[in-house]
Amino acid sequence: MNPVFCAVDTPDLAGAEKLIDSLQGHVGGIKLGLEFFMAHGMAGYSVIAIKGLPIFLDVKLHDIPNTVAGAVASLLPLRPAFMTIHASGGAAMMRAAAEAAAKAGAERPKLLAVTVLTSLDGGDLADVGQDADTLRQVVRLAKLAQASGMDGCICSPEEIPALRAALGKDFILMVPGIRPDWAAANDQKRAMTPRQACDAGATYLVIGRPITKAQDPAQAAQRIESELA
Ligand code: C5P
């Protein structure tokens, strides 16, 4: 299976549709985030879902357990393949989310934990009373997520080795911060190529601009596909 989820970070529904049509057969799925979902909601989601690619709905839920469980239940009819939950919301919140998702049976979305946002450095973590050693905090939250019923977590490429060692081979690692060596780095500072990330132990890759901003997105996706083959 193609491990690439293309990040469609746009509030432009028609543009997203056109892009996804061109990527059919060349990516494993589509990541829709808050920018898209806030603009278009369930109706817009359904326009994309009908195209048949698995969808990673990156909503980063974080609230009291009852509310997060309710939010997961409300999203189940959309049948996303993956959804995100903030691990810092705690064990009870993640367990409540997992129980809510389980109600969809075999069709249940896989739940991925967000550990430490890569926009935060050690100083930011200290400011909110967390361990300023970011990798230690990432591993700690990922272990808590695994023990609380999450199927995997989002992580940066450089976190893959520590997380694979701590969590075993079956825990899903969904990895953004990926740049083919022919693509612009943009604002990604410590990117790996698709091949490097997969070799390091990534389960899935999230790739946005190297595909979406390419002159020919389908060709860019195909090139990544062939580099991973
Ligand atoms: O365009 P690019 O490939 O950088 O897009 C990466 C996607 O992954 C974006 O949707 C971005 O928000 C997301 N992401 C990230 N780094 C993280 C978590 C999520 O780039 N640590």
Residue 69, ligand 1, Cβ within 6 A: no
Residue 33, ligand 1, Cβ within 6 A: yes
Residue 168 class from Cβ within 10 Å (0-12 exposed, 13-18 middle, 19+ buried)? exposed
Q: Can 60 be counted among the known catalytic residues?
A: yes
- From first to last of the 229 residues of the chain, give the pLDDT tens digit: 999 999 999 999 999 999 999 999 999 999 999 999 999 999 999 999 999 999 999 999 999 999 999 999 999 999 999 999 999 999 999 999 999 999 999 999 999 999 999 899 999 999 999 999 999 999 999 999 999 999 999 999 999 999 999 999 999 999 999 999 999 999 888 899 999 999 999 999 999 999 999 999 999 999 999 999 9
Helices (H), the chain: 13-23, 34-49, 65-75, 91-102, 122-127, 134-147, 160-167, 194-200, 209-212, 217-228
Closest atom of ligand 1 relative to the 213 alpha carbon: 1
Homologous superfamily, domain 4-228: Aldolase class I (3.20.20.70)
Burial letters for 17-37: b for 16+ Cβ neighbours within 10 Å, e otherwise? bebbeebeebbbbbbbbeebb
Residue of minimum CA distance from atom 11 in ligand 1 = 176
pTM of the complete model? 0.97
